[in-house]
Amino acid sequence: MPTRKTTTRKKTTSAKMKARPAPAIRRTENPIELPEGMWERISRKAYELWEQRGRQDGNALQDWLEAEEIVMEEIHESRE
């Protein structure tokens, strides 16, 4: 019975896969400041969303972003 010869290929790193330096973070001298109490409102709303989802971990960022959207919408509606 003939046997098959197996060869192994050495993996080469393409130019796209080479490590790239991280982009420099540009900081402004005057960062945008949130209105008074905004951080707390977003934090409370994110906590509420976490509780509504059954206190499942792993979605903190999504909860925060959704809470930001809800709070911003509430502020926008109150100004109309």
Quick: pLDDT tens for 19-47. 667 667 666 676 667 778 899 999 999 99
**Can you give the pLDDT at residue 36?**
83
45-66 confidence digits (pLDDT tens): 999 999 999 999 999 999 999 9
What is the sign of the dihedral through the CA atoms of 43, 45, 48 and 53?
Answer: negative
Confidence of residue 67 (pLDDT cuts 50, 70, 90): very high
Residue 55 has a pLDDT of 93
Whole-structure pTM value: 0.56
pLDDT at 11: 54
